[in-house]
Chains A and B, each alone.
With several copies, the nearest count.
Chain A
Amino acid sequence: MSERYSRQTLFPPIGKGGQEKIRSKHVLMIGAGALGSGNAELLVRAGIGRLTIVDRDYVEASNLQRQQLYTEEDVAEKLPKAAAAEKRLKAINSEVAITAMIADATPEKLAELIDGVDLIIDATDNFETRMAINDISQKFRIPWIYGACVGSFGMSFSIIPGKTPCLNCLLKTVPLQGMTCDTGGIIGPAVQMVIAHQGAEALKILVEDWDAVRTSFVSFDLWRNQYTSMKMSKAKDPGCLSCGEHPEYPYLDVENMTKTTVLCGRDTVQIRPPKQQQLNLQDTAEKMKDLGYQVKGNPYLVSVEMDDNRMVIFEDGRALIHGTKDLAQARSIYQRFFG
């Protein structure tokens, strides 16, 4: 082991003591897409003791452009991402205890997995899951690291319960239609840049170098050569329902979640967002057309043809996903566009 991690223990802020700490820690990775596969590889190479990685999707051809654990063979075999990730991670470092879960990271699932976890890394693609991670983090006093990217733009922020503001302080609500990689595209370097930031923060937290943990909110645009550090000293909201004086952890409440139901006797899942929306159907239809989908519409709904599914969206944000009975898959399709 000493030889394997020699270049990391040579780095004075880690050293041999830090390496022992990394070895004793357990990280929960939510998502095994672009950020998830990159962050997981980074931590497994760094010698993390235990990694739990959760993902609900399968490896698809369009993932290969930026999701670094996967190969053409994984696409051909239609492997679940969690399973494909586990296979590669074990080949990289057999000393790490890896638990791969093919599952939707619902609040219930997060609560089930949180026991013994030292750090949560956000590698999800939607704000609903992030808000649930944020509440779990506050409730169980476990740090988490927000990361996201779209196009050549990305951002990261380390959230330490009791110390920093939380995501709910910053956003107040789940923004519907946050840009996702499925609507704005994404380039590999932007993914790598977010991973670099999340990974450095993770190592600081794992070796307990709390003074080194970044307190600012980083955002950057690699194509436009921008890099910005936003100070967060005024951002903490004492009345925040997630991290404030009287926390209620609203995003662990099923009332505030996207609801999915298999429609009786049909190969269709209905999806209902937590709050009534007022979608502009014409805009939605045009955006989908720009993305290359075949779209039909009328004043009441928009219908989008996909490979094996059809998605019908209504003005109040409700959607029907035809061609599946799998709740997780249906949520995945919906949140690709309404992340």
Chain B
Amino acid sequence: MNKILFFAHLRDEAGHESVEIEAAGKTVAELKQMVAEKYGIQKLDTSMTAINEEFSSNDEVIKAGDTIAFIPPVSGG
């Protein structure tokens, strides 16, 4: 299983701070699409992704037990 963490407005859109999901073997891009559909999140494709607190590209493949965080860039200032 994998733990998925949502930051900032993604959490409000998802309705959860974190969820458990089976994502091993999927790429980050695939996971984003799956999560976006399942939790009704609109702009997940532009979000940054951390696997185990390390920035990861859309091509990275997720392993069992990895914790994935979606951190959307924000622009306020």
The reply, when asked whether chain A contacts chain B directly with Cβ atoms under 8 A, is yes
Overall SS of chain A's interface: mixed
A186 to chain B minimum Cβ distance, whole angstroms, is: 6
The listed residue (A34, A228, A234, A235) touching B69 by CB distance below 8 A is A228
Contact call B56/A127, Cβ cutoff below 8 A: no
Which residues of the partner chain A approach B71 to less than 8 Å between Cβ atoms? Answer: 155, 217, 219, 228, 230
Which residues of the partner chain B approach A36 to less than 8 Å between Cβ atoms? Answer: 77
Contact call A171/B77, Cβ cutoff below 8 A: no
The listed residue (A150, A219, A221) touching B76 by CB distance below 8 A is A150
CA distance A124 to B55 in the complex (A): 24
Q: Which of B20-72 contact A (CB under 8 A)?
A: 43, 46, 48, 50, 53-57, 69, 71-72
Contact call B54/A171, Cβ cutoff below 8 A: no
Query: With A150-B76, A228-B71 known to touch, is A170 a contact of B48 (CB < 8 Å)?
Result: yes
A311 within 8 Å of B by Cβ?
Answer: no
Contact call A224/B17, Cβ cutoff below 8 A: yes
**B: which residues have CB within 8 A of A?**
7-9, 11-12, 17, 43, 46, 48, 50, 53-57, 69, 71-77
CA distance A31 to B75 in the complex (A): 12
A211 to chain B minimum Cβ distance, whole angstroms, is: 13
Which residues of the partner chain A approach B9 to less than 8 Å between Cβ atoms? Answer: 150-151, 179, 184
For A208-236 the 0/1 string (1 means CB < 8 A from B) is 00000000010101001010111111110
A201 within 8 Å of B by Cβ?
Answer: no
Contact call B43/A34, Cβ cutoff below 8 A: no
Query: How many residues of A sit at the interface, in one of the four size bands?
Result: 35 or more
Which residues of the partner chain A approach B73 to less than 8 Å between Cβ atoms? Answer: 127, 148, 155, 170-171, 175, 178
Which residues of the partner chain A approach B74 to less than 8 Å between Cβ atoms? Answer: 148-150, 153-155, 178-180, 184
CA distance A143 to B75 in the complex (A): 19
Which residues of the partner chain B approach A173 to less than 8 Å between Cβ atoms? Answer: 46
For A7-39 the 0/1 string (1 means CB < 8 A from B) is 000001000000000000000000101111000
Which residues of the partner chain B approach A177 to less than 8 Å between Cβ atoms? Answer: 43
Question: Nearest A residue to B69 by beta-carbon distance?
Answer: A228
> 7 closest Cβ contacts across the A-B interface?
A178-B75, A181-B76, A339-B75, A175-B46, A150-B76, A235-B55, A153-B8
CA distance A194 to B74 in the complex (A): 12
CA distance A36 to B55 in the complex (A): 27
CA distance A171 to B48 in the complex (A): 7
Contact call B55/A232, Cβ cutoff below 8 A: yes
Which residues of the partner chain A approach B57 to less than 8 Å between Cβ atoms? Answer: 234-235, 237
B29 to chain A minimum Cβ distance, whole angstroms, is: 12
Which residues of the partner chain A approach B75 to less than 8 Å between Cβ atoms? Answer: 125-127, 130, 148, 150, 175, 178-180, 339
